[in-house]
Structure 1
């Protein structure tokens, strides 16, 4: 794949919505098959960190993390994403400590559910341990900062999420600047996809994430969102991680615990622009919003269409 984003010439029209085509829409991830040309997946979030930006350590205790992960699966989440280190700047967390945080949750969830398990990490050691324990997705928010992570994924059957960000892991990146944020993010992702493929990861095991709010301010993230077509035109499934982020809070003037409506609207907008996975905190509400959006797009039939019959 060229580092220049490849704009497909044909399009998929869903009753008035023009959606970018996917080169590899049908994906087998873990024990599940997703046809992203007609399906949107909901990824739930479990943070086993004492300082996560949204829940502030609510699932840091092992039993709470496991219970929350199992509950998300039972509520209908397609994936559960488990992280042991937040993206925001902070002291380094050794790989051994990160493994101690996330591995028991992966093991416990794999023993109790067949839900797709994702591990949010940029460390190859953490990824390898979690893949061996049952994770089938590695969610790297650093754009493959460590090339060895790509090698770990290539040597497995796992899927890799490649996310746009600019800073060194856990380091600040103040006052980010972009001349054309959507195009620059697309160029970055295309280049990192090309790198991942060169390390042996096939395209049909790669997902891209434009990194809402990651090394971007609110105005830049909003511009990126309304120009998401530049990302989805890459032809790979796009993940939108928008839930409760600061661009929502700053757009609405809402604190972190009052951003549900904004999160659902942001996720819906991303889906209508071609995103096929949304990473969300509120699982039941997000599933309802996603299923309704699928019905509007014509991806699914109504469950009980009896009105006016």
Structure 2
């Protein structure tokens, strides 16, 4: 798939490194909010094998507060510009705001990663004009209240129906299928049981005929199951990343790049031998 000025072969599983330039993200809030810190973390993740750097300026953790347009622009645009000036990598912008999408792509971003699946005002139109790939994620509710008793008839089928509808909407607006990625939205309006059912049935998302991105790194689906604090969830994160890639995930979005890259390489080698 072409990400603006760089091609990445998604027939092999890839790792996306998370770069939150926010003061309140659930795992690393405030750690990389300055440009120098952001560049150091980017360099580290690229050295560890990241294929994408996902820059986000608004926390979407449960209970997160709204961030204004100007705040988000001030946080992400200088960082994206600096990363693209220094590194030959694909930068993804994690946003739901149309203006942030447009300005980020102008600054060098090659992927729009939207937890609201281009449903906010002007977002779909901005993505069409940007002419870069988009990632459409499923979320039930909004971050402030999404974990307050989420309910589904059949979680996997419900998420699939939503993503099919959003894919169709994007195609009718002018975004071709070869520029669409989907994300089931682990932890976004999902109970512990919903998350693990989605992971067990992740292979069903291949029926959408687009690449699948997953993000489970350090999330509460690990903390609640294992009774581990955020900084103690690495082993669980490697386990779910490994399972996801075995189940057909094309991109794994993580905080712990080095360890995840190793795990993904093992699964890729295993899959290569299965095909022989």
Q: Pick one of 23, 31, 48 that aligns with 1:50.
A: 23
Q: Deviations over 1:128-150 (max 9, x none)?
A: 11100100001001122215212
Q: Pick one of 24, 30, 35 that aligns with 2:9.
A: 35
Q: Pick one of 198, 205, 215 that aligns with 1:241.
A: 215
1:59 aligns with: 32
Q: Structure 1 pair 242/299, CA: closer, same or farther in 2 (3 Å)?
A: farther
Contact 1:119-1:135 within 8 A present in 2 as well? yes
| 1:123 maps to 2:97 | yes
Whole-angstrom CA distance in 2 between matches of 1:260 and 1:300: 28
Q: Pick one of 165, 172, 181 that aligns with 2:145.
A: 172
Q: CA deviation at 1:56?
A: 2.9
Residue 207 of structure 1: SS of its match in structure 2?
strand
Q: CA deviation at 1:57?
A: 1.8
Residue 43 of structure 1: SS of its match in structure 2?
strand
Residue 130 of structure 2: SS of its match in structure 1?
coil
Residue range with higher mean Cα deviation, 123-132 or 91-100: 91-100
Contact 1:142-1:166 within 8 A present in 2 as well? no
Q: Pick one of 169, 174, 190 that aligns with 1:216.
A: 190
Richer in helix (by share):
2
Stretches of 4+ aligned residues off by more than 4 angstroms? none
Contact 2:20-2:55 within 8 A present in 1 as well? yes
1:150 aligns with: 124
Contact 2:3-2:90 within 8 A present in 1 as well? yes
In the superposition, the TM-score normalised over structure 2's length comes to 0.94
Contact 1:59-1:65 within 8 A present in 2 as well? yes
| 1:283 maps to 2:231 | no
How many equivalent residue pairs?
A: 273
| 1:292 maps to 2:253 | no
User: 5+ residue gaps in structure 1?
Assistant: 1-26, 302-309
In the superposition, the TM-score normalised over structure 1's length comes to 0.85
| 1:113 maps to 2:99 | no
Residue 171 of structure 1: SS of its match in structure 2?
coil
Whole-angstrom CA distance in 2 between matches of 1:70 and 1:100: 21
User: 5+ residue gaps in structure 2?
Assistant: none
1:77 aligns with: 50
Whole-angstrom CA distance in 1 between matches of 2:160 and 2:121: 20
2:59 aligns with: 86
| 1:187 maps to 2:161 | yes
Q: Deviations over 1:143-202 (max 9, x none)?
A: 22215212112112311000000224x431310001210110011111011111111111
Whole-angstrom CA distance in 1 between matches of 2:247 and 2:164: 18
Q: CA deviation at 1:299?
A: 7.6
Larger radius of gyration: 1
1:262 aligns with: 236
Whole-angstrom CA distance in 1 between matches of 2:160 and 2:65: 30
